[in-house]
Amino acid sequence: MSLTMTEYIEVNLIGIIMLLTMMLYTGRRWDWKQWDESGTFIIMAASNTIILFADIVIYLLRGHGSPEMMALTHIACVVYFFLGGVFCYEWVRYVFKRLYPLRQAPKREHWILQVPVAVNSLVILASPATGWIYSLSDANVYHRGPLIWLPFIIGMFYWIFSTAIILGEYRHSTQSREPGVYRTLFAFPLFFITGNLLQMRFYGLSITWVCAAVSMVTLFMERQKDQLSRDILTGLFNRRQTGNQLAWELGRLPASQDYLMVAILDVDHFKDINDRFGHLMGDQALIQVARILRGQRSPQRFREPVRRR
């Protein structure tokens, strides 16, 4: 094995190890009964991991032209391109779940967003026979096909669409968020797009999904920062983050036309629940209260602009 091949595999393996670590950590803390942004994050990390592994397989089998080795290369190429579309589609879903965790998307929206990745998948599945996306030489060497640009264009569609959603929410936010949340969502596609452009420009350079792994690390770090600001039991903001959020709200209030309201709640008979049923049941009561609070939306009349005089 040449030094170049060894270094190439080592870089991909580092990306795989990082992604597996993030997946395991996120999976341990995720409530599997509730499909939220954590579930979408795991799908993205798993897709990225399998793509990097498929990339290693394609590289290792290069030059081995037996029918069995060529069949394995075809499988790795199909998986590589298919999961690339899935990754981009799941990113859009992640953006929606991150910005609107309580929103129930209509079925029509799901179908519209799935059309590009479905078209991409059909073309990829046909490529072993047609050579549309890629082809293999007699020596089992990968070559680009005439439609190699299609996965890139479809990926760009999802990136542009998600960026438009983030920008629209940033400009007309109905919820209070720190600017760091938007910065992370805006920055996430940049590594991926940069790597993709370089890979399309310089044939033989394969860095797109290593760059995607780097993007996943930045997203993971933002998620961990968010976790540190929340109560581990209920998922609500802890005291430190509540103070930071209130200070941020007060700072932005003079330049806005919104009302700022603060409510202090007390759970009736909470001590009786602990005394009669135990502290574990008391914890469940707090979790249920938190779910009720997260499920409430501000009445429309409280979001009306203040009339200046």
Answer yes or no: is pLDDT of 40 > 50.
Answer: yes
Band (pLDDT 50/70/90 cuts) for residue 28 is confident
**Helices 208-228, 37-60: inter-axial angle, 10-degree rounding:** 150
Q: Which residues pair with 143 in a beta bridge?
A: 135
Q: What is the pLDDT of residue 184?
A: 86
Closest CA to 187 of 216, 158, 152, 156: 216
Going along the chain from its start, the domains and CATH numbers come out as 3-228 (1.20.1070.10), 239-303 (no CATH)
Distance of CA 78 to CAs 128, 129, 147, 195, 306, Å?
A: 8, 12, 14, 20, 56
Q: What is the pLDDT of residue 285?
A: 81
Band (pLDDT 50/70/90 cuts) for residue 302 is very low
Query: pLDDT per residue over 93-121, tens digit each?
Result: 999 888 887 677 777 888 889 999 999 99
Q: What is the pLDDT of residue 308?
A: 38
How far apart are the C-alpha atoms of 92 and 85, rounded to whole Å? 11
